[in-house]
Amino acid sequence: MLNIISEAAGTIDTAAASPAWYEALVSINPTTIIFTLINALIIFLLFRFFLYKPVCNILDKRKEMAAKEISEAQAAKESAQKAEQEYMERLADAKSEAAEIMKQATARAQAREEEIISEANQKAADIRVKAEEAIERDKKRAMNEIKDEISSIVILAAEKVVEKEISAKDNEEIISNFLVNVGKEE
Protein backbone atom coordinates (compact mmCIF):
# COMPACT_ATOMS: atom_id res chain seq x y z
CA MET A 1 0.00 0.00 0.00
CA LEU A 2 2.84 2.35 0.81
CA ASN A 3 4.48 1.38 -2.45
CA ILE A 4 1.43 2.32 -4.38
CA ILE A 5 1.20 5.68 -2.66
CA SER A 6 4.88 6.44 -3.19
CA GLU A 7 4.73 5.47 -6.88
CA ALA A 8 1.63 7.50 -7.33
CA ALA A 9 3.18 10.49 -5.70
CA GLY A 10 6.34 10.29 -7.78
CA THR A 11 4.81 9.75 -11.20
CA ILE A 12 1.59 11.68 -11.14
CA ASP A 13 1.33 15.34 -11.30
CA THR A 14 -1.24 16.45 -8.79
CA ALA A 15 -2.72 18.99 -11.10
CA ALA A 16 -3.26 16.49 -13.88
CA ALA A 17 -4.35 13.63 -11.72
CA SER A 18 -7.17 11.53 -12.91
CA PRO A 19 -10.08 10.26 -10.92
CA ALA A 20 -8.86 6.66 -11.42
CA TRP A 21 -5.89 7.38 -9.34
CA TYR A 22 -8.13 8.48 -6.50
CA GLU A 23 -10.20 5.37 -6.90
CA ALA A 24 -7.08 3.18 -6.54
CA LEU A 25 -6.35 4.81 -3.24
CA VAL A 26 -9.89 4.40 -1.92
CA SER A 27 -10.77 1.03 -3.40
CA ILE A 28 -11.36 -2.16 -1.37
CA ASN A 29 -8.92 -4.93 -2.11
CA PRO A 30 -9.80 -8.38 -0.64
CA THR A 31 -6.16 -9.53 -0.41
CA THR A 32 -5.26 -6.44 1.58
CA ILE A 33 -8.16 -7.06 3.92
CA ILE A 34 -7.09 -10.69 4.42
CA PHE A 35 -3.45 -9.71 5.05
CA THR A 36 -4.57 -6.99 7.41
CA LEU A 37 -6.76 -9.45 9.36
CA ILE A 38 -3.92 -12.00 9.48
CA ASN A 39 -1.54 -9.29 10.70
CA ALA A 40 -4.08 -8.23 13.35
CA LEU A 41 -4.55 -11.86 14.42
CA ILE A 42 -0.77 -12.38 14.70
CA ILE A 43 -0.39 -9.15 16.67
CA PHE A 44 -3.31 -10.22 18.88
CA LEU A 45 -1.75 -13.66 19.49
CA LEU A 46 1.66 -12.16 20.17
CA PHE A 47 0.08 -9.63 22.47
CA ARG A 48 -1.89 -12.41 24.19
CA PHE A 49 1.11 -14.72 24.76
CA PHE A 50 3.91 -12.26 25.32
CA LEU A 51 2.16 -9.36 26.97
CA TYR A 52 -1.31 -10.17 28.26
CA LYS A 53 -0.53 -13.41 30.12
CA PRO A 54 2.62 -12.08 31.85
CA VAL A 55 0.84 -8.88 32.81
CA CYS A 56 -2.12 -10.89 34.14
CA ASN A 57 0.29 -13.11 36.07
CA ILE A 58 2.04 -10.06 37.54
CA LEU A 59 -1.32 -8.52 38.45
CA ASP A 60 -2.47 -11.78 40.05
CA LYS A 61 0.76 -11.95 42.07
CA ARG A 62 0.33 -8.34 43.16
CA LYS A 63 -3.29 -9.03 44.08
CA GLU A 64 -2.23 -12.05 46.15
CA MET A 65 0.52 -10.01 47.79
CA ALA A 66 -1.93 -7.21 48.58
CA ALA A 67 -4.44 -9.71 50.01
CA LYS A 68 -1.65 -11.26 52.08
CA GLU A 69 -0.57 -7.86 53.40
CA ILE A 70 -4.18 -6.98 54.20
CA SER A 71 -4.66 -10.26 56.10
CA GLU A 72 -1.38 -9.69 57.95
CA ALA A 73 -2.49 -6.17 58.81
CA GLN A 74 -5.81 -7.49 60.08
CA ALA A 75 -4.00 -10.15 62.13
CA ALA A 76 -1.70 -7.46 63.55
CA LYS A 77 -4.70 -5.27 64.33
CA GLU A 78 -6.47 -8.16 66.08
CA SER A 79 -3.28 -8.96 67.98
CA ALA A 80 -2.97 -5.32 69.04
CA GLN A 81 -6.61 -5.30 70.16
CA LYS A 82 -6.04 -8.51 72.15
CA ALA A 83 -2.92 -7.01 73.72
CA GLU A 84 -4.82 -3.84 74.57
CA GLN A 85 -7.66 -5.85 76.10
CA GLU A 86 -5.20 -7.94 78.13
CA TYR A 87 -3.48 -4.73 79.24
CA MET A 88 -6.80 -3.23 80.31
CA GLU A 89 -7.70 -6.43 82.20
CA ARG A 90 -4.30 -6.47 83.90
CA LEU A 91 -4.66 -2.79 84.73
CA ALA A 92 -8.12 -3.41 86.22
CA ASP A 93 -6.74 -6.39 88.18
CA ALA A 94 -3.83 -4.28 89.41
CA LYS A 95 -6.20 -1.51 90.49
CA SER A 96 -8.46 -3.92 92.34
CA GLU A 97 -5.44 -5.60 93.93
CA ALA A 98 -4.08 -2.22 95.01
CA ALA A 99 -7.47 -1.33 96.48
CA GLU A 100 -7.54 -4.66 98.33
CA ILE A 101 -4.01 -4.10 99.65
CA MET A 102 -4.97 -0.61 100.82
CA LYS A 103 -8.09 -2.02 102.48
CA GLN A 104 -6.07 -4.73 104.25
CA ALA A 105 -3.40 -2.22 105.30
CA THR A 106 -6.08 0.08 106.70
CA ALA A 107 -7.69 -2.82 108.56
CA ARG A 108 -4.29 -3.87 109.98
CA ALA A 109 -3.54 -0.29 110.99
CA GLN A 110 -6.90 0.03 112.74
CA ALA A 111 -6.40 -3.31 114.48
CA ARG A 112 -2.91 -2.22 115.59
CA GLU A 113 -4.31 1.11 116.76
CA GLU A 114 -6.98 -0.65 118.82
CA GLU A 115 -4.34 -3.02 120.19
CA ILE A 116 -2.09 -0.12 121.21
CA ILE A 117 -5.01 1.72 122.81
CA SER A 118 -6.03 -1.46 124.63
CA GLU A 119 -2.48 -2.00 125.87
CA ALA A 120 -2.25 1.62 127.00
CA ASN A 121 -5.58 1.36 128.81
CA GLN A 122 -4.46 -1.89 130.45
CA LYS A 123 -1.17 -0.33 131.55
CA ALA A 124 -3.02 2.71 132.87
CA ALA A 125 -5.40 0.45 134.78
CA ASP A 126 -2.46 -1.54 136.17
CA ILE A 127 -0.70 1.65 137.21
CA ARG A 128 -3.91 2.93 138.82
CA VAL A 129 -4.39 -0.36 140.72
CA LYS A 130 -0.77 -0.33 141.87
CA ALA A 131 -1.06 3.30 142.91
CA GLU A 132 -4.25 2.57 144.85
CA GLU A 133 -2.55 -0.42 146.51
CA ALA A 134 0.48 1.74 147.35
CA ILE A 135 -1.80 4.44 148.74
CA GLU A 136 -3.66 1.85 150.82
CA ARG A 137 -0.35 0.41 152.15
CA ASP A 138 0.98 3.86 152.95
CA LYS A 139 -2.31 4.70 154.64
CA LYS A 140 -2.19 1.52 156.76
CA ARG A 141 1.46 2.07 157.61
CA ALA A 142 0.75 5.68 158.54
CA MET A 143 -2.20 4.52 160.66
CA ASN A 144 0.00 1.94 162.36
CA GLU A 145 2.71 4.53 162.98
CA ILE A 146 0.13 6.95 164.35
CA LYS A 147 -1.32 4.22 166.57
CA ASP A 148 2.16 3.34 167.80
CA GLU A 149 2.95 6.98 168.55
CA ILE A 150 -0.40 7.54 170.20
CA SER A 151 0.00 4.40 172.28
CA SER A 152 3.49 5.44 173.38
CA ILE A 153 2.20 8.96 174.19
CA VAL A 154 -0.72 7.48 176.09
CA ILE A 155 1.60 5.18 178.01
CA LEU A 156 3.89 8.06 178.89
CA ALA A 157 0.96 10.23 179.87
CA ALA A 158 -0.61 7.46 181.89
CA GLU A 159 2.63 6.75 183.69
CA LYS A 160 3.08 10.33 184.65
CA VAL A 161 -0.47 10.68 185.81
CA VAL A 162 -0.64 7.49 187.72
CA GLU A 163 3.03 7.01 188.37
CA LYS A 164 3.22 3.38 188.58
CA GLU A 165 -0.03 2.69 190.33
CA ILE A 166 -1.54 0.95 187.32
CA SER A 167 -0.33 -2.47 186.49
CA ALA A 168 1.02 -3.43 183.07
CA LYS A 169 -2.12 -5.43 182.37
CA ASP A 170 -4.39 -2.43 183.02
CA ASN A 171 -2.15 -0.32 180.80
CA GLU A 172 -2.56 -2.71 177.90
CA GLU A 173 -6.35 -2.71 178.29
CA ILE A 174 -6.51 1.05 178.29
CA ILE A 175 -4.30 1.25 175.21
CA SER A 176 -6.30 -1.41 173.36
CA ASN A 177 -9.57 0.35 174.10
CA PHE A 178 -8.08 3.65 173.05
CA LEU A 179 -6.74 2.22 169.79
CA VAL A 180 -10.04 0.55 168.98
CA ASN A 181 -11.82 3.84 169.54
CA VAL A 182 -9.24 5.77 167.50
CA GLY A 183 -9.72 3.38 164.54
CA LYS A 184 -13.52 3.90 164.73
CA GLU A 185 -13.33 7.66 164.69
CA GLU A 186 -11.91 7.56 161.20
pLDDT for residue 70: 93
Per domain, the residue ranges of the chain are 2-185
The per-residue pLDDT string of the chain (186 residues; one tens digit each, 9 = 90 and over) reads 556 655 655 555 554 556 666 666 777 788 888 999 999 999 999 888 888 888 889 999 999 999 999 999 999 999 999 999 999 999 999 999 999 999 999 999 999 999 999 999 999 999 999 998 999 898 888 888 887 777 777 777 666 666 555 667 777 777 777 777 765 554
DSSP states of the chain as a string? -HHHHHHHHHHS-STT--HHHHHHHH---HHHHHHHHHHHHHHHHHIIIIIIHHHHHHHHHHHHHHHHHHHHHHHHHHHHHHHHHHHHHHHHHHHHHHHHHHHHHHHHHHHHHHHHHHHHHHHHHHHHHHHHHHHHHHHHHHHHHHHHHHHHHHHHHHHHHHSS-S-HHHHHHHHHHHHHHHHHH-
pLDDT for residue 154: 72
- What is this structure's pTM? 0.37
Which pLDDT value is given to residue 142? 85
pLDDT at 26: 74
* Predicted local confidence at residue 81, as pLDDT: 92
Whole-number pLDDT of residue 64? 94
Q: What is the pLDDT of residue 21?
A: 65
Q: How confident is the model at residue 52, as a pLDDT?
A: 86
